[in-house]
Amino acid sequence: MTSTVISPWAMAAIQKLSASTGESLQHFSVADFDFEIKLLGDSLWIIAGFNSGQNIAFRAAYSPDGFDNIKVKNTDEKTFNIRLSAAIGEYNVTINLPVADKPILHYVAILKPVNDLSVPFWPRDIIVYGNHEISGEIHVSQTGTRSGLLYGSFKKPAKGTFMYLQNLTALNTYYIDTETSAADTVGGQWPEMGLGLPQALEKPMQKGKKYTLSDAYINFSKQSPANQFDIAKGFLEALSNLYLLLPKPKSVYRNYLEALPKALHDLETNKGCWAHRSGHPYLNAYLCDYETPPEIMVQLAVLLPVRDYMRWSGEYCKIVNEIGDGLKAFYDEKIGTIMRWLPNEVDKLDESEEQKKPLVMDAWYLHHPLLNLARMALNGDGVAKELLLNSVGYAIKVAHHFKYCWPVFYKMDTLEVVKAETKPGEGGEKDVAGLYAHVMLQVWELTKEQKYFDEAEKAARSMKQHGFNVLYQANNTMFAAKAMMYLYRETKTELYRDLSYLFLANIFKNVALWECEYGFGKNFSTFFELFPLSDAPYTAVYEEQESYAGVHEFLSYANGIDLLPSVRLLLAEFVRYAVHRMILYYPPMLPEDMLCKKPKTGELDPKLWVALEDIHDGWEQSGGVGQEVYGAGLAFGIVPRQYMRVPGHDFLIYIDYPVLNQTIKGNTMRFDVSGDSRLTCRMKIINRGEDKLPVFKITAGNQDDQKQIDSVDQRADDFEYTIHGNQAISISW
């Protein structure tokens, strides 16, 4: 029974499932979970039994008039192949338990229609039912084109949790032929949830063609989360379990060493990237957007990655001085802080949006420039230190005024709230408290004044009140995770490590673990893309690049700390696919027909190596927001993190996982690869000189247990190796 309002199809299904007393087609079990396969009327069901008559059923096949014929074949005791005939066509359903000792279910349903088949409606494939009123909660479900994910738990009568992950990549043939999108296809309300195929009226499934209509993985547990931290850790564990099973696209090596000089040249020389104000050059936010006043975040978002690259390469890039010389002009003596907009240009704001009004501050926008100024100050920049320390008092004043719960917009002079909540009932920018804590820790590191560390702890403790859903902007959420790990490293207070997991879980519920192959999607990769906001309809280069860089810093803070294995696994895989994907934000890497001709802001030059802000669903053109100058840090952020230099030699070592503890002694380099030993990454040794590469010896493991690794690909200019995660690597020559 259930007290939740549901559809007629779900009510009929619950009645059939509850009344069913006949024998099951198959019965199997794993790790204290029992499963039954039953054919009831219009559906083939896989039923997972929890305690106290509490069941969750998965609709593996559906035909409105039922089925005429069924054949069941056991491939082995944990794998079943079922063929079903129906008026709409022939089904082939495979059901299995892919891991011997874990309660994980996997099923695939393939339909071969007997006629061209339109789809005006398709029922969702998960039903909760039982002998009592069963209540539960959905913690995560798909938004837009993110992962086809559901994560929920039971409240009564018994405990239990499940994660359902639909491999949307497998459904691409359906989306292509019906010209539908994978967006928002996995969802629903308790107790009727799961995948509902998108409506397809004008473009049908084709007669005689095979369509995968479901490819679902489900992780079960008989425990329910007690709080937001249990939700987060359970989510990370279940997601990593299913990720190991999920088919993943092959990553390829992207040559950022070739892309970076092109990006630097276009950034330095293209007039559309720059505007001159009061005798200083400033970067535009978008190509050829000369109307909007300069923003300090834009300047620093490019300056910091370029400086990272300069330290790595030893090269000089003239734009660092051009940008740096204009930073002081953003300080407002009267208010006592740096401002978002160049103060003497605010009269040019068009007030078309709330934040484009004088003295209106977007809450995160105050702290992000402070974070970057602190990074510069910690590297010895005197101007950055001055601006930071002159502004930090104002930031503390604002934090105290709002009691560490920032609204979306407020007036900088009066602190009057302009917009309190992101959406009604959802609160303000919850992850800003973590961003603020990050800044306070940086100022503490710079000054050694205890009051700043105390501020960071107060902000961290304030975040307990928000619950599980805390992500406002992905890169800021990543900064918050870093700050919490920093606090844990310094204090060993378990709350801070739990908060870091909470923020990371919010990052990973905001990714897309599938590959879009329809429409323009065939031109770019979507696997493991990270969306900038919790409801954003597209991915964005700036938020992705900063989150990617944040992963490396998080792992450096966590070096030597006992982390959940799921965290190391997911962070490493995010990095691997980020460097595989993100070069495709550059327009020259994409066909011109998929680029928007008239972006919202500025202009779009398809030949210019300035990244697009936005990449959309495969049926939509990309670049509609604009060509994002403040995303120009992309290649400059990736090269120093993935390519390792060897002083005195003309070769580089590239690896597409994060690495730690890099050392060079004589002709030997050693480092630790992050990630999980069950997964692999790519390592390349790249020749940058004219002479032949030396002979290399690559070993993995500690000194007592070393295994030699041979190259999988050898060419005149480089060698390539396959490396397992979570191991020590030694390279000698």
Mean of pLDDT values over 16-22: 88
Q: Is residue 618 part of a domain?
A: no
Q: Is residue 198 part of a domain?
A: yes
Q: Is residue 610 part of a domain?
A: no
Distance from chain centroid for Cα 392? 30
Cα–Cα distance measured from residue 312 to residue 308, given in angstroms and rounded to the nearest whole number = 6
Cα–Cα distance measured from residue 97 to residue 655, given in angstroms and rounded to the nearest whole number = 34
Q: List phi, psi (to 5°) of 281.
A: -80, 135
Looking only at the bridges linking them, the beta strands covering 614-615 and 539-540 are antiparallel
Q: Is residue 667 part of a domain?
A: yes
Mean of pLDDT values over 203-221: 98
Write out pLDDT tens, residues 648-659. 999 999 999 999
Q: Which residue from 238, 301, 233, 137 is spatially nearest to 503, judged by alpha carbons?
A: 233
Please tell me what DSSP assigns to residue 716: S
pTM over 0.85: yes
Write out pLDDT tens, residues 86-131. 999 999 999 999 999 999 999 999 999 999 999 999 999 999 998 8
Give yes or no for residue 1 having a pLDDT over 70.
no
Please tell me what DSSP assigns to residue 492: -
Which of 198, 221, 245 is the last residue before a domain boundary? 245
Give yes or no for residue 711 having a pLDDT over 90.
no
Q: Which residue from 543, 518, 517 is spatially nearest to 529, judged by alpha carbons?
A: 543
Q: Is residue 195 part of a domain?
A: yes
CATH number at residue 128: 2.70.98
Cα Rg of the chain, angstroms: 27
Which of 215, 245, 275 is the last residue before a domain boundary? 245
Q: Is residue 468 part of a domain?
A: no
Write out pLDDT tens, residues 142-158. 999 999 999 999 998 88
Q: Supply the range of the domain harboring residue 667.
A: 646-732
Instruction: Return the structure tokens found at 471.
Output: 């992500």
Give yes or no for residue 53 having a pLDDT over 50.
yes
Write out pLDDT tens, residues 313-354. 999 999 999 999 999 999 999 999 999 999 999 999 999 888
pLDDT of amino acid 4: 63
Which of 206, 222, 245 is the last residue before a domain boundary? 245
Please tell me what DSSP assigns to residue 727: E
Mean of pLDDT values over 640-650: 96
Please tell me what DSSP assigns to residue 629: G
Write out pLDDT tens, residues 456-484. 999 999 999 999 999 999 999 999 999 99
CA–CA distances in Å: residue 219 to residues 152, 243, 398: 11, 11, 44
| DSSP symbols for 424-461 | TTS-S-TTHHHHHHHHHHHHHHHH--HHHHHHHHHHHH
Cα–Cα distance measured from residue 417 to residue 419, given in angstroms and rounded to the nearest whole number = 6
Q: Is residue 725 part of a domain?
A: yes
Mean of pLDDT values over 684-710: 89
Q: How many domains does the chain have?
A: 2
Would the CA dihedral through 173, 174, 178, 182 be positive or negative? negative
Place of tokens 């700390």: 561
Cβ burial 566-582 (10 Å sphere, 16+ → b, else e): bbbbbbbbbbbbbbbbb
Mean of pLDDT values over 368-396: 97
Please, which pLDDT band fits residue 85 given cuts at 50, 70 and 90? Answer: very high
pLDDT of amino acid 567: 98
Write out pLDDT tens, residues 56-67. 999 999 999 999
pLDDT of amino acid 713: 79
Q: Is residue 76 part of a domain?
A: yes
Q: Which residue from 93, 123, 96, 95 is spatially nearest to 110, judged by alpha carbons?
A: 93
Average pLDDT over the chain reads 95
